[in-house]
Amino acid sequence: MANHPSAAKRNRQRIKRTARNKNLRAAVRTAVKKARGAIATGEAEAKSKVEEATIALARAASAGVIHDNAASRTTARIRAALHKRAAT
C-alpha cells in the first residue's frame, strides 16, 4: 500500500505500463510464431507473415518492451530462414 500520493500515482502508472507491455510482447510472440510456422510448412503467404513479425518486433523495440538488438537479431533470423527456404 502506497503511503504517499506520488507513490500511489507511480503504482497506477506501473499497472498501465505493465498491461501495455504484456500486450505488445504477446503480439510479438504470436507474430514470430506464425512467421516461423509459415516458413517451416512452406506456406505461400510466409513472406507477408515475416513482414508482420518484423513490424511487430520494430514496434516493440521502439516502445522499449524488448531490446533493439533482440528485435534485430530475431528479424534477421526469420528473414534468413525465409530466404533459405525460398532458395531450396
DSSP 1-70: --SSHHHHHHHHHHHHHHHHHHHHHHHHHHHHHHHHHHHHHT-TTHHHHHHHHHHHHHHHHHHTSS-HHH
pLDDT tens digits, one per residue of 30-77: 999 999 999 999 888 999 999 999 999 999 999 999 999 999 999 999
Superfamily of domain 5-87: Ribosomal protein S20 (1.20.58.110)
Range of lowest pLDDT (15-19, 34-38, 44-48, 83-87): 83-87
Local confidence band at 10 (pLDDT 50, 70, 90 cut-offs): very high
